[in-house]
Structure 1
Amino acid sequence: MALVDLHVHSKYSKHPAQWFLQRIGTRESYTEIEDLYQIAKNRGMTFVTLCDHNTIDGALKLVEHSPLDTFVSVEATAYFPKNGCKIHVLVYGLNEQQFHMVDRLRTDIYQLRDYLRQENLAHSVAHATYNVNGRLTFDIIEKLILLFDVFEEINGGRNPKNNLIWGQSLLNLSANDIDRLYDKHRIEPFSDTPWLKGLTGGSDDHAGLFIAQTFTEADAATPAEFIEQIKRKQTIGGGKSSNFKSLAFAIYKIACDFSQSGSGKKQTGPMALVNSLLFENKKPGLRNRLMMEGMKFRAGKEDKDRIMLQFLEGVFSDFVKPGDLSIDEKIERMYENIAAMTDNFFSMIFESLERNFKQGDLSGLVKNASAALPAIFFSMPFFSTVKHLAHDRDIINRLRAEYIEKYQRADSKILWFSDTAKESNNAADAVRSAARAAHLEERAIQFVLSESQVAATPDLPPNVLTLPEIYTYTPDNQSDYALAIPSMLRSLETVYQQNPDVIVISTPGPLGVVGILAAKLLGIPCYGILHDDYAEAIRRKSSDELLFDPVDNVIRWVYSFVTTLYVPSFDMLEVLEKRGYETHTMQLLPTPSSESEDAETAILETPYYVPESDAPLQWAEIFMALFGPKVGVSAALPHIRMTPAPFDRLEDERKVVGIQ
């Protein structure tokens, strides 16, 4: 069997899609043709091609360099004429005249498809579910299924879940599906068997790091035979998908290549060190060692130099022999070092915030915040790539519902963030009861707590995730409560690995902020629960009127980002409305309807919120009403709407009720 990476870029691809790279003004790739060829062959590829964007200049040089085991390809940016949606179509084995026609016709994807069919050109639609310019719709996905017969099943730049769902959806297509889509869109299918799709794989590598780690397999002895197998739909994709770390380090690589390509001078500094260890298999040079010695000299005076010195020492220790490590091992080790550095910088900022706030000196805070810029620069690509990889979530979820779940059921996965579990109050009772109920009911729900909360709370069920913390603050006169600041990059990794469909936050504290940030990056719904009037509670406890407004402003700001905010009573809703909260996003916490068929009566008669009562609320029941067995809550109530929505799922006679 022959192997080819059918989606690789070289330095002839010029315009980056990543926001971070656009901001610093780089090219899309700096990979040399000769290097690309050698890497592909060393990693077991039988034949080599490259697919630069809308040009074959690099591909022609590749064939000139090695004519016997290469062929010309291009990634053509095509457009749906009605809404301008961009679609990337990989075309294989074309000559210069055919390329010029492809380049001319790509402004209309219908004309391009007809030309490819007329010329019998091998092709594959690249990362079809990726929303390149924000105009992709599910209708367009359906049209693509009719227009083309070969699709990229595994794209090395997309995450495993999306690749798997897309590939499985294509395999599950039936003749009836094609008939249904034709009746809807009136587009002539590509072939006589349009429900049988050809599948390809390609790394979509731009940095020279992951070439040939994703590939296409076919029974072929020559490039011409391989191209013919693509046309006959006799290929299959294989190899690796991406994750946010590998994609971020690809961005690092391109940024480093850009910095070195500009001046031609040898670069120094942390970024240059990352480049030499990760990408060039070089030990630290004299300049980097001198830089480190300078930091040692200043480390006793400046916290930022001490932190950066720890980072460099950790990197040196982990990369004694960089050539002996695989790229995946390098990425994991470097990520851990960057996460530790970022934690140290942000811990420094929070220590400064607490110290300088007490002293009334904000100049020190500003100084330390500016010193943390290297940590921000190193961490930004990771947040960017999480968002990038989640860009097509809506399309993927629709595909899963229409082409996979009719064959096998898939539960939504929920993460519930809270910073209280050990205390004796309503919020803590809610979390503990809800966690146990979810575990007993075998729900796909996990509860996210800080490590200090987990350590102080005995008998927690196994469905609890622990986020490492970098700093803990205990307010004056509140020794029973500690505000835990989680590690940002390590928390991001934990949440990303869980791949949730929904996030719930029942705290406006740091863990709630992490939950909201994760939901925004992943493009998923985030629901909030406000257990109590925290600002009023702090005012009563501290007798400090000056604290009320800033605390209330922070809480209002945090919960302004949630899709829906659950409140425990109409009284609280009215109080929050007077303070300027967005009540159109609020809804009352539902309850099991018990024996009553009147959902409205059941809710109104439930004593959710009793400010003077120490009796714990029945949070287990409330939890099961939100996420558990049938409850029949659908009545429209004053100020709120309660309808089956994002959490909806039927399972036997159980129904999850959410908030629209």
Structure 2
Amino acid sequence: MEKFTSVDMHVHSRHSTRPSQWGLQKLGCSESYTGPEFIYKRLRDKGMDLVTITDHNCIDGCLEIAHKDGVFVSEEITAHFPDDGCKVHVLAYDISEEQHSRIQEIRFNIFELVSYLQTEDILHAAAHPLFSVNGKMSYENFERLLLLFKIMECNGARDKTQNEALEFILDNLCPLDFEYLQNKYDLKAAGNKPWEKSIIGGSDDHSSLNIGRMFTRVPGNHNLKKFLEQVNKGCSNAWGTPSTPKTMAHNLYSIGYQFCKHKFNLHRYTGQDSLLQFLDQTLHPGQKIPKNIKDSILGFIYKKTGSKGKTPAREFHRLLSRETELMLRTDPEITRMVQSSVNPHEYMGSRWFRFANKAGNRLLSHEAGRLVEQAASAGFLDMFQTLGSAGSLYTMLSPYFVSYGIFNQDRRTSKEFISSFKKRKGIRKSAYQMRVAHFTDTFYEINGVARTMQQLATTAAVTSKDLTIITCRPDSSKSLEMDGVQNFEPMGMLDLPEYPEIKLYYPPVLEMIDYCFERDTTHLHTATPGPMGLAALATATILGLPIFGTYHTSLPQYTGHLTGDHALEALMWKYIIWYYNQLDKVFAPSKSTADELRLKGVRSEKIKVYPRGVDTDKFNPAKRNGFFARHYKIQNKTKLLYVGRISKEKNLQILEKAFQKICEHTSKVHLVIVGDGPYRYEMEYRLKDYPATFTGYLQGEELSQAYASSDLFVFPSSTDTFGNVVLEAQASGVPAIVVDQGGPGENIIQGDTGLVVPAEDSHALKRAILSLLAHPEDLREMGQKARKYMESRSFKKAFEQTWEMYRECA
């Protein structure tokens, strides 16, 4: 069996005192709380042959264990490019105290620092060279690192794509590259063959959880001097497991917990407090764990949940304790976290994510439910307490928000650097893969937005576009799953009394962030401004992704119609304007909708009217087959059709009045209402003495046949932003009558494919219908023109145009 010399060449101790995360800085938290003795023992236990510690600009950790076998003194130096202030971390190995002192004097100029390290023959490397320490690592600065450093590090705390990008670039360097770079920057490259780089590996551990996660291997059994020589010759490689956002967040939790132990002297309570034992086992390894820790923790939690008082912090602690107890009893993965004496680092980050996610979901569901109840009962003082608990929950999950943001930025930087490298080298670039996640509160329901979402999923598959519909429904909807749709189990549910067909579900935001990260999503789209829309906004903000939104539904007007409360309608407008102003682009389905949004306060530069289409195969005149005669015994009558939600905001009272007047003029007409809603029974009662049929919901082929078998489509709604049904009717060869407010009027060619009449005017609607009934040949000709018009507006064509808009607007 071949022997290797293994060394973790990047690890931190408690002597690294200044964290890079702003939140930890504000708390006065150190970067690490790991003792040098612990590091030494852990590295030896993991099979490392030599041991070093690379604290930031400090060698005290190494000096503490310098007397131990196999230890050498090293540090991680924070250097700067003097022209733009870009920070670079440089690893220097096997140095003396005098060399350390000199390094600290000159480290603010990276050129002076590297010159000194070369003169002193100190082995040195660029740590995580693609990572931007202070946001200033440009590709040009990376090119200068290629000139300055012979050795580069693959880092165990960074995303695998960053290490892979670095290895790709280093593997494809050649002498011509360095001729070009030396001329470009007027800078001599390090080494005789600068295109032949050495690679080392280091865990970059700060928390003690991942010591030895990544390390350097050199073939053979070597002492320190020989090992460093082999690294310098390029005989080393990086070995181990790269990090993930879950790993980084777990580390941040660990550092935060160790900070609290240090600041509040919690060590003295660890033996007495079983909850602290749980945290020690999961966030601070190496502690002695009682054999009966699970039962001990549960007993402690039972005591704590009975504590009195209702401050937000105490209430949050009570809820968290209760949920922890439940998970320890019911989740085998979380139980294993506290029962195992050794937790492999490959799994601990995932297990802690499972715990934090489940606890966060349950707490958020509880707080959201309370907030709704308090708002409904005007319990405004209690609402402040609930909001306080929600703030505690945000703080609890913030390590994940930080970690996913950093890792997604790392990915973008890696892709940009590879793209720049390939462009200069003339290497053919990989085709840009756009991946869109489309969030929606409605998908499985029967409504226009849901039908549009279903069409999007189908069309994306047909056109080979990488689009995933993200929605949130209980497990009961699994029978409706389809390709291109990712459904998440909700944390809770909110009923809308005025809209019983729609239920709003509380989404598991952290799972959605993780899903979009793992898919390497490039764009987000939000179809609705409800809980899923807020989840999309949070995901876009944390991952730093462009986000687009569609204004499908006139929610403020619907709110006014359904509640009769103008103050509530105004409040809804405030929310809508706030929400859509957070997006990069707002897709309006019609010019009238765009104008309304602009007038209400959505910024003009954000609004873009986007193309809409219809499935011209599904909705087709060829499907006219006497559907109503066969199913509803409607024969020898001109059939007026309405399809949609039966509710007051659709202005169906206007249609009622117009139809009643029409029946005074002719008996050769029949009104068909397809759909359902809260106004159905009242409308049915009002028309009980008239030739009117209410079919309820129709779907699939039945709906297509109903359209094609009717003669005239009537849509009196003035609150629709677009009106899919108007396109579906025309595609079926049926002319349409719509009103002059809202989006549907823009989908009619006046006098050719239908008529546009004044809104809220039953007399105008009556006259328009009678005029067409009096000239059946004009009605047929309009239907033919309507079909031809829709053939130029296929859903597939509109989808592909919208796909290009993502690319253009990002």
TM-score range, shorter chain: 0.7 to 0.9
Q: Deviations over 1:358-395 (max 9, x none)?
A: 21112233333334565344322121221232343442
SS at match of 2:515: helix
Q: 1:536 corresponds to which residue?
A: 557
Query: After the TM superposition, which residues 594-613 of structure 1 pair with which residues of structure 2 at under 5 Å, given as runs?
Result: 610=722
Report percent identity of matched pairs. Answer: 24
Matched residue, 1:507: 528
For the 8 Å contact 1:450–1:486, the answer to whether it is kept is yes
Contact 1:528 1:559 in 2 (8 A): yes
Shift of residue 286, structure 1, vs aligned partner? 10
Look up the match of 1:275: 280
Query: Counterpart amino acid of 1:227?
Result: L
Q: Deviations over 1:569-614 (max 9, x none)?
A: 222221111111111122221579xxxxxxxxxxxxxxx9645954
Alignment of 1:276-291 (within 5 A): 276-278=281-283, 279=285, 280=287, 282-283=289-290, 284=293, 291=300
Residue 19 of structure 2 is matched in structure 1 by 16
Instruction: Give the Cα–Cα distance (whole angstroms) in 1 for the partners of residues 238 and 7 of structure 2.
Output: 10
Choose the corresponding residue for 2:47, options 44, 48, 61: 44
Task: Name the aligned partner's letter for residue 429 of structure 1.
Answer: R
Shift of 1:424: 4.0
| Structure 1 residues 72-471: aligned runs within 5 Å | 72-153=73-154, 155-220=155-220, 221-262=222-263, 263=265, 264-267=267-270, 268=273, 270=275, 273-278=278-283, 279=285, 280=287, 282-283=289-290, 284=293, 291-295=300-304, 297=306, 305=318, 308-315=321-328, 318-319=335-336, 321-323=339-341, 325-372=343-390, 375-403=393-421, 406=428, 408-409=430-431, 411-452=433-474, 456=477, 460-471=481-492
Name the residue aligned to 1:621.
Answer: 797
Name 2:65's counterpart in structure 1: 62
Is the CA contact (8 Å cut-off) linking 2:241 and 2:346 kept in structure 1?
Answer: no
Partner of 1:659: 809
Q: Give, in angstroms, the shift of residue 536 of structure 1.
A: 2.6
2:320–2:363 Cα contact (<8 Å) kept: yes
Letter in 2 for 1:214: M
**Is 1:475–1:482's contact at 8 Å kept on the other side of the alignment?**
yes
Tell me if structure 2 keeps the 8 A contact 1:311–1:338: no
CA–CA distance in structure 2, aligned partners of residues 626 and 513 of structure 1: 22
**SS of the counterpart of 1:469?**
coil
Report how far residue 191 of structure 1 moved: 2.6
Q: Distance in 1 between matches of 2:17 and 2:355?
A: 31
CA contact (8 A) 2:552 2:722 kept: no
Give the residue type in structure 2 aligned to 1:312. Answer: E
Q: Secondary structure at the match of 1:499?
A: coil
1:601-656 deviations in Å (ceiling 9; x for gaps): xxxxxxx964595435854432222226xxxxxxxxxxxxx7xxxx5xxxxxxxxx
Q: 2:494 aligns with which of 463, 466, 473?
A: 473
Task: Could you tell me which runs of 5 or more consecutive residues in structure 2 were left unpaired when the two chains were aligned.
Answer: 614-719, 729-792
The Cα shift of 1:74 comes to 0.9
Tell me the matched-pair count. Answer: 615
Look up the match of 1:556: 577
Cα offset, 1:285, TM superposition? 9.3
Contact 1:2/1:217 (8 A) holds in 2: yes
The amino acid that maps onto 1:92 is Y
What is the Cα deviation at residue 309 of structure 1? Answer: 2.1
Equivalents in 1 of 2:342, 2:39: separation in Å? 21
Give distance in 2, aligned partners of 1:610 and 1:297.
Answer: 55
Q: Which amino acid aligns with 2:573?
A: D
Cα drift, residue 29 of structure 1: 1.2
- Residue 766 of structure 2 is matched in structure 1 by none
* Local SS of the residue matching 2:471: strand
User: CA–CA distance in 2 between the matches of 1:565 and 1:542?
Assistant: 27
| Partner Cα separation in structure 2 for residue 612 and residue 202 of structure 1 | 57
AA partner of residue 488 (structure 2): L
- Partner in structure 1 of residue 620 of structure 2: none
Aligned partner of 1:597 in structure 2 is: none
Aligned to 2:469, the other structure's residue is in SS state strand
Shift of 1:398: 0.9
TM-score, normalization by structure 1: 0.86
Gaps of 5+ in 1: 593-607, 629-641, 648-656
Q: What's the CA shift for 1:537?
A: 3.6
Matched residues in 1 for 2:48 and 2:517: separation?
31
With structure 2 as the length reference, what TM-score do the two structures score? Answer: 0.71
Offset from partner CA, 1:81-131 (integer Å, 9 cap, x none) = 112111000111222232222222211011112222222321111112222
Deviations 1:274-306 (A, max 9, x none): 224442352449985664232454699998635
Secondary structure at the aligned position of 1:658 is classed as helix
Partners of 1:281 and 1:467 in 2: CA distance: 39
Q: Could you tell me how far 1:488 is from its partner in structure 2?
A: 2.7
What is the identity, as a one-letter code, of the residue corresponding to 1:625? Q
Contact persistence 1:307–1:344 (CA under 8 A): no
Counterpart of 2:378, as a letter, is: G
Separation in 2 of the partners of 1:558 and 1:271? 41
Report the Cα offset of residue 513 of structure 1.
1.6
Classify the secondary structure of the residue corresponding to 2:321.
helix
Letter in 1 for 2:416: R
Tell me, in whole angstroms, the C-alpha distance in 2 between the residues paired with 1:272 and 1:192. Answer: 55
Matched-pair contact (CA < 8 Å) for 2:371–2:386: no
Describe the SS at the equivalent of 1:574: helix
Q: What amino acid does structure 2 have at the position aligned with 1:450? A: C
Q: Is the 8 Å Cα contact of residues 2 and 218 (structure 1) preserved in structure 2?
A: yes
Aligned-partner Cα distance in 1 for 2:724–2:53:
70
Cα deviation for residue 214 of structure 1 reads 0.3
Separation in 1 of the partners of 2:808 and 2:446? 27
Residues 406 and 323 of structure 1, relative CA distance in 2, 3 Å threshold: same
Deviation, 1:451, is: 2.6
8 Å CA contact 1:123, 1:230 repeated in 2: no
1:659/1:557 CA distance change after superposition, 3 Å = same
Amino acid at match of 2:374: N
Alpha-carbon distance in structure 1 between the residues aligned to 2:181 and 2:300: 63
Match of 2:603 in 1: 582
- Taking only aligned residues, the RMSD between alpha carbons, in angstroms, comes to 2.9
User: Which secondary structure does the structure 1 equivalent of 2:216 belong to?
Assistant: strand
SS in structure 1 of the partner of residue 268 of structure 2: coil
Deviation (angstroms), 1:414:
2.3
